[in-house]
Structure 1
Amino acid sequence: MAGFTCSLLVLLQMGTAVGHAAAPVSLAKSYEDWWAYKESIQGIFVPGPAFWGLVNAAWNLCAVGKRQSPIDINTSQVVFDPFLPPLRLSLGSKTVSGTLCNTGRHVVFLPESQRAVNMSGGPLLYTHRLEEVRLHFGGEDGAGSEHLLNKHGSPSVQVANNSNPFLGRLLNRETTTRISFKGDSTFLQDLVLEQLFPDTFSFVTYQGSMTAPPCYETVTWIVIDQALNVTSMQMHSLRLLSQHRALHVFQSMSDNVRPVQPLFQRGLRGTLDYRRPGRRCTGARYRLQVDGPKPPKASG
């Protein structure tokens, strides 16, 4: 499998849509503000990733957990699982609408709750509801992905002349200028979520954690092996987003990534057999299975 230079990680944040979810731990606002990806903000020390587990006792998994994320995915350790089914996306309507936000740490798209989007299949034992689409990105084209692939950038996104249609809607210059500062948001309508996925793809899955405090080890990661396209202009627009509010000193939100964590004894499963001899990997390469109303075809 070819490697790609990656500058942006697209994370689909899913929450369980079945059973009773436990209430989230409520942290004091001072703790919520007391972590960062960079240890110096406007010349003031703020605890970076190496210190997250020391700031708050509720975050101790960030320091002592054995199933932490992200990781470097070594394909020689991936066990081929021919029984992994395709991923299935269940749409309540043809398109989704929602709010694009600058949180100061990430660019986040929050879909409207009344238009539920559910995902199942692959390694997922239950149906999960889409909570958010979160973007991580680097200050340079050679960085920005949290997960690595054989010690290189994971093939989440590559810079190209054309853009993935879904990301194109999120990252056009008119939209990003509306979220220039922390706390800014804008409402977007009629996005076709399935356009975010490649036409065909395989994936690697493992049990891990959130990549920000409190680092709970409750995440089933599904890392798709095909890159999505963004343009140089879209990456430039992302790097102009500030992690501070208006009238404060500008500091780019870029490089909002946690370093890779040890794998320890966890297993990696994949839909391709990377350990077979020869140049071509064998195994299933899937198309996304979509239930519900069919979206309009993309123009152009």
Structure 2
Amino acid sequence: MYNTGRHVSLRLDKEHLVNISGGPMTYSHRLEEIRLHFGSEDGQGSEHLLNGQAFSGEVQLIHYNHELYTNYTEAAKSPNGLVIVSIFMKIAEASNSFLNRMLNRDTITRITYKNDAYLLTGLNIEEIYPETSSFITYEGSMTIPPCFETATWILMNKPVYLTRMQMHSLRLLSQNQPSQIFLSMSDNVRPVQPLNNRCIRTNINFSMQGKDCPNNRVQKLQYRVNEWLLK
């Protein structure tokens, strides 16, 4: 686990490979990195909005197409290069077991400053996923420069949870090194971008289907969010 100065980054060692396939993916993709985005206040910090509302954070699992490309760097600038699975983070009384391992006090305080790193072992990637198979997907860009438009985004339809104390610990991480002035890593998000006529697809069963996009894909997708999800 690594403080990049912009993200909390978790990278797998090369002996433990995690691949995903199926769903909207034509190829198998290999997990390269997990990044955390979060806000300085509750209700902001996610890079995607749901019904115009942000969440307190967002977990992004970044995968590259290992069938077409030899590594992440090559895939990131190439067609069909990346798949990014995005999961909203929501504050609750109890936390997701995977996030609990990452964000407990003994662990997170070891990466307080830029370039700090700490080895985590025994993690199970499956535990980061919420209990749902529903998702929304679209073709878009990376959210960090140079923002290549080579990514397929998959947004899971349920959040994962972390405690208020764990979110507070994230906000105490610094963008800078110890010798420099403290500057919180919070609000490490790219502003929301226009849809630009992209088609948004989903496996959620809607009663109404649009005709603007082929294959029954809805171009301007909107749906009502359960109130408990936004509280």
Q: Which amino acid aligns with 2:27?
A: Y
Q: 5 Å matches for 1:61-100? A: 100=1
Which residue of structure 2 lines up, in the alignment, with residue 166 of structure 1? 98
Cα distance in 1 for partners of 2:195, 2:203 equals: 19
Q: 1:280 to 1:135 in 2, by over 3 A?
A: closer
Cα distance in 1 for partners of 2:40, 2:207 equals: 34
TM-score by length of 2: 0.75
Which residue of structure 2 lines up, in the alignment, with residue 150 of structure 1? 51
Q: 1:212 to 1:202 in 2, by over 3 A?
A: same
Deviation per CA, 1:64-109: give whole Å up to 9, x if none: xxxxxxxxxxxxxxxxxxxxxxxxxxxxxxxxxxxx0000000000
On the 8 A contact 1:201/1:226 being kept in 2, the answer is no
SS in structure 2 of the partner of residue 125 of structure 1:
coil
Cα distance in 2 for partners of 1:129, 1:143 equals: 29
For structure 2, the residue ranges without an aligned partner over 5 or more in a row are: 56-86, 210-222, 226-231
On the 8 A contact 1:146/1:259 being kept in 2, the answer is yes
For structure 1, the residue ranges without an aligned partner over 5 or more in a row are: 1-99, 282-300
Deviation at 1:184, TM superposition (A): 0.1
* Residue 50 of structure 2 is aligned to residue 118 of structure 1: no
Which residue of structure 2 lines up, in the alignment, with residue 217 of structure 1? 149
Cα distance in 2 for partners of 1:241, 1:143 equals: 17
Cα distance in 2 for partners of 1:108, 1:274 equals: 36
More strand, by proportion? 1
On the 8 A contact 1:182/1:242 being kept in 2, the answer is yes
- Runs of 4 or more consecutive aligned structure 1 residues displaced over 2 Å after TM superposition: 273-277
Root-mean-square deviation over aligned CA pairs: 1.8
Give the number of aligned pairs: 181
Q: Which amino acid aligns with 2:153?
A: W
Cα distance in 2 for partners of 1:222, 1:266 equals: 14
TM-score by length of 1: 0.58
Q: 1:252 to 1:127 in 2, by over 3 A?
A: same
Deviation at 1:264, TM superposition (A): 1.1
Q: Which has more radius of gyration?
A: 1
Q: 5 Å matches for 1:23-62? A: none
Q: Which amino acid aligns with 1:126?
A: Y
Deviation per CA, 1:8-34: give whole Å up to 9, x if none: xxxxxxxxxxxxxxxxxxxxxxxxxxx
Deviation at 1:280, TM superposition (A): 9.2
Q: Which amino acid aligns with 1:149?
A: L
Which residue of structure 2 lines up, in the alignment, with residue 138 of structure 1? 39
